Amino acid sequence: MNSTDPVAFWDDLYAARPAAGDPRPNSTLVDLTADLPPGLALDLGCGSGGDSLWLARRGWQVTAVDISAVATQRLADRAQSLGLGERLTAQSHDLRDSFPSGCFDLVSAHYLHTPFDLDRASVLRTAAHALHPGGRLLVVDHGSTAPWSWNQDPDAHFPSPQEVAAELDLDPAQWAVARAESPRRVATGPGGRTAEVIDHVLLLRRAA
């Protein structure tokens, strides 16, 4: 596996895995968006595409973005096979250099973590500015280390939702914090292994 080039690293990682037949959506996305009317959604770091497919099935027009062309091509193929090709567009972006065009009613960034340098605050700030009035930015981060996490640094710091919001430095008159919390849940990892983990959940809403 290429350990120096981010694109090659993530392409190699996905290529080494079998394509997910029916990837599951993240539970926080389901809980916080199930009652929203369908609109335009952006899934940053879509990975296997469970969130994107779930949104598309519910009538959203989804732009799914990942650094790995292996991941996005698999997702595009899966969307076509499910009859969702007209609702889901998969794009490869290295967010250090490019960001998808357009404006959105929902931007979802679940576990947008990488072992490589990334000005994540700048990416999420751009995402906030890409929201339509009344749109929502949902950021869900790891708040603890799972046994199967690639980052097993015992000294790793997991910024709280409040820290993430402060780092974005958005005008509070235009972007309100709708939720900032750190729930615990039981996660399932490779091979069906389970462990209790902490999520850091930040939901921002742009003023209507």
- The residue that leads in pLDDT, 147 or 193, is 193
pLDDT recorded at residue 8: 94
Rounded to whole angstroms, the Cα distance separating 107 from 202 reads: 12
Q: What is the dihedral of CA 66, 67, 70, 75, to 10 degrees?
A: 10
The answer to whether 173 and 164 have CB atoms below 8 angstroms apart is no
Mean pLDDT of 82-105: 97
- Within 10 A of 73 (CB to CB), how many other CB atoms are there? 15
pLDDT level of residue 159 (50, 70, 90 thresholds)? very high
- How many other β-carbons are positioned within 10 Å of the β-carbon of residue 119? 11
Asked if residue 185 has pLDDT above 80, the reply is yes
- Residues with Cβ within 8 Å of residue 184, at least 6 apart in sequence: 196, 197, 198, 199
Q: What is the pLDDT of residue 2?
A: 56
- What pLDDT is attached to residue 161? 97
pLDDT at 1 over 70: no
pLDDT at 192 (0 to 100): 83
pLDDT band at 201 (very low <50, low <70, confident <90, very high): very high
Q: What's the mean pLDDT when you consider all of the chain?
A: 93
- Going along the chain from its start, the domains and CATH numbers come out as 6-206 (3.40.50.150)
What's the confidence (pLDDT) of residue 146? 82
pLDDT digits (tens, 9 = 90+) for 119-158: 999 999 999 999 999 999 999 999 888 877 767 777 788 8
Helix 69-81, helix 6-15: angle, nearest 10 = 40
> CA 120, CA 194: separation in Å to the nearest integer?
28
SS (H, E, C) 127-148: HHHCEEEEEEEEEEEECCCCCC
For residue range 22-73, what is the model confidence (pLDDT) as tens digits?
A: 899 999 999 999 999 999 999 999 999 999 999 999 999 999 999 999 999 9
